[in-house]
Amino acid sequence: MRGGRARAEGPVFLRLMALAWPYRWWMALSVLLGFATVGSGIGLMSTAAWIIARAALQPSIAVLQVAIVGVRFFGIARGVFRYLERVVSHQTTFRLLSRLRVWFYTQIEPLAPARLAAYRSGDLLSRIVADTDTLENFYLRVLAPPAVAALVTGAMAIFFSAFDRRLALALVVYLALAGIGVPLLTRRLGRRAGRGLVAVRADLNAALVDGVQGLPDLVAYGQAERQAQMIRSLSASMRQQQARMARIGGLDAALGALLTGLAVLSVLALAIPLVSAGQLDGVLLAVLALATISSFEAVLPLPQAFQHLESNLEAARRLFDLVDAAPAVADPPDPLPPPARCDLVVRDLRFRYAPGDPLALDGISFTLPQGGTLAIVGASGAGKSTLVNLLLRFWDYDEGMIELGGSDLRAYRQDDVRAQFAVVRQDTHLFSGTIRDNLLLARPDASEAELIAAARQAQLHDFIAALPQGYNTWIGEQGLTLSGGERQRLAIARAVLRDAPILVLDEATANLDAVTEQAVMDAIGHAMRGRTSLMITHRLVGLEHVDEILVLHEGRVIERGRHADLLARGGAYRRMWDLQRQELFDEPA
């Protein structure tokens, strides 16, 4: 089990290194500046110790002059190098985090929505934000400190060897214990806590997002306290993991101080006999002692680096687990150019979302010529929205054929397919921004005149013009400052502005009252002029002039024809029509 974990960690670490590789020269510069900072500190303490010890012998000031200048130089250099090291290391970290965020987003974008449907939004947010932020420690506290420690250890070994090799060996042993032994111990102790901290933080973020998004329902059903209790429980678990990490941090600090003291005692124990034998100047005892203490500045951060390594690897593993998922849809190796025409032909289409699931679509066939209109109606769960997902290539179908412009839909690039469609959904997402921002999402380079023309076609311009800030009015998250009808008309205006040849209306009037529904249908009527239109709805409104209507039931077409013919036939469509008419008649009561 441990071997398997080690093998798994190796590729994760190497993949992180590959992502950091473009900034290798920045990292190398930062390591050199860190080495210069620690070296300046060692030089400052050693030179100061030599001055104090030599001054006790009352020499001429000329003897101390060079050392006094050295103290000034090392004191100033230490501050300058520390500042430069912080600037360069943080610049490197911020560049690396920026690269990670962009890389992660570009990797998961092809996975949406099919592969991301199984993840909670809070968990995805935690991976994108918290897990990526965790990796800021990867360079600052994992990569750089060992490199600085190695350079300092080598330099100190050479320096102490000039006096006696035994002194160098003793120092290197203690530096190795502090820089390797203690980190291995703290990593072993912190492995479980590091993984647990990342996991519980992800669960807490997911619970918080769910709680905020579902707050009205939680309050309405009296479950707010239950959600709060779950958040308190997760917060307590996170606090326990953080406390455990803090205790491990205290242990490594204590061990570091202990090893520093033991190193000084060992160096002095070896150096004093050399002084007694006349092989070493007694003044150098203070130099060796303070140089030993100063050199531990390079290795004392290493236990913390190993402690953070586990949480960094766990955070990276969570990112890689997501991005390594194979996209549900892939572009063909040699895609066809975008279609010149937009005839849509569906033949014997079958699809299921997962092996073993029932068929969501079972043998659907229809033809929608360019400029024609087709309506697909049926109860919820009949497979209507599934058809839209297949047309937009969010999923790939199992059997049958969808042809666009005379060629298989799968022969085009996904972006080229989606460029042919403008979709108005029941749950069209409106971003927290202005009306203008949400319209420009369809076509960022649209002019003011084109925005106004699209809004007029959606019968929304007069409403926008009456607002104090017009098109610059802030609509809030999901357009909460707008009514349901205004949100739908804004979605229609966005679809009009996109100016795609095929307009898809997926339950565009669902959950609207009769008056608002009629206003939205009027806007839809304007938007459909001159376009190939596909209406998908369970509301039988505005279908009198549609070229053909398909009635779906459990993924199958059970009736098809024009509105008047289907009513006259007295089948499923007529029953749906009568039921909705009865509901509309009963509404005033």
| Stronger pLDDT, 550 or 252, i.e. the higher one | 550
Q: Domain 344-586, what fold?
A: Rossmann fold (3.40.50)
pLDDT of the residue at 173: 92
What mean pLDDT do residues 467-475 have? Answer: 86
What is the SS3 string spanning 357-383? CCCCEEEEEEEECCCCEEEEECCCCCC
* Positive or negative torsion for Cα 477, 322, 309, 13: negative
Q: Do residues 286 and 133 touch, judged by C-beta distance below 8 A?
A: no
Quickly list DSSP for 44-66.
HHHHHHHHHHHHTT---HHHHHH
Residue 3 has pLDDT above 50, yes or no: no
Residue 585 has pLDDT above 60, yes or no: no
Tokens 């895609």 correspond to 335
pLDDT of the residue at 1: 37
What mean pLDDT do residues 471-491 have? Answer: 80
CB atoms within 10 A of CB 472: 13
Kindly report which listed range (8-22, 281-295, 363-377, 462-476) carries the lowest average pLDDT score: 8-22
**CA 54, CA 414: separation in Å to the nearest integer?**
78
Residue 236 has pLDDT above 70, yes or no: yes
pLDDT of the residue at 227: 82
- Beta bridge partners, 351, equal 361
pLDDT of the residue at 527: 62
- Beta bridge partners, 552, equal 557
Distances (CA, A) of 574 to 172, 316, 541, 581, 583: 90, 57, 13, 10, 14
- Give the chain's mean pLDDT: 82
Residue 381 has pLDDT above 80, yes or no: no
pLDDT of the residue at 10: 58
pLDDT of the residue at 555: 83
What mean pLDDT do residues 8-16 have? Answer: 72
**How confident is the model over 544-558, as pLDDT tens digits?**
888 888 888 888 888
pLDDT of the residue at 514: 63
Q: Domain 16-323, what fold?
A: ABC transporter transmembrane region fold (1.20.1560)
**How confident is the model over 47-71, as pLDDT tens digits?**
888 888 888 777 777 778 888 888 8
Q: Over pLDDT 90: what percentage of the chain?
A: 8
Identify the CA nearest to 489 among candidates 419, 544, 435: 435
- Tell me where in the chain the CATH 1.20.1560.10 domain(s) lie: 16-323
What mean pLDDT do residues 165-187 have? Answer: 87
Q: Amino acid letter at 35?
A: F
Q: Do residues 377 and 579 touch, judged by C-beta distance below 8 A?
A: no
| pTM value > 0.75 | no
Tokens 């002029």 correspond to 529
CB atoms within 10 A of CB 105: 12
Residue 367 has pLDDT above 80, yes or no: yes
Residue 588 has pLDDT above 50, yes or no: no
Residue 272 has pLDDT above 60, yes or no: yes
**How confident is the model over 68-101, as pLDDT tens digits?**
888 899 999 999 999 999 899 888 888 888 888 8
What mean pLDDT do residues 257-265 have? Answer: 90
Helices (H), 298-397: 302-323, 384-391
- Tell me where in the chain the CATH 3.40.50.300 domain(s) lie: 344-586
Would you say how long the chain is, in residues? 589
pLDDT of the residue at 152: 92
**CA 567, CA 587: separation in Å to the nearest integer?**
23
Q: Over pLDDT 70: what percentage of the chain?
A: 90
Tokens of 314: 């766990």
Of 7-21, 331-345, 467-481, 533-547, highest mean pLDDT: 331-345
| Stronger pLDDT, 134 or 535, i.e. the higher one | 535
pLDDT of the residue at 520: 64
* Positive or negative torsion for Cα 123, 125, 130, 132: positive
pLDDT of the residue at 2: 41
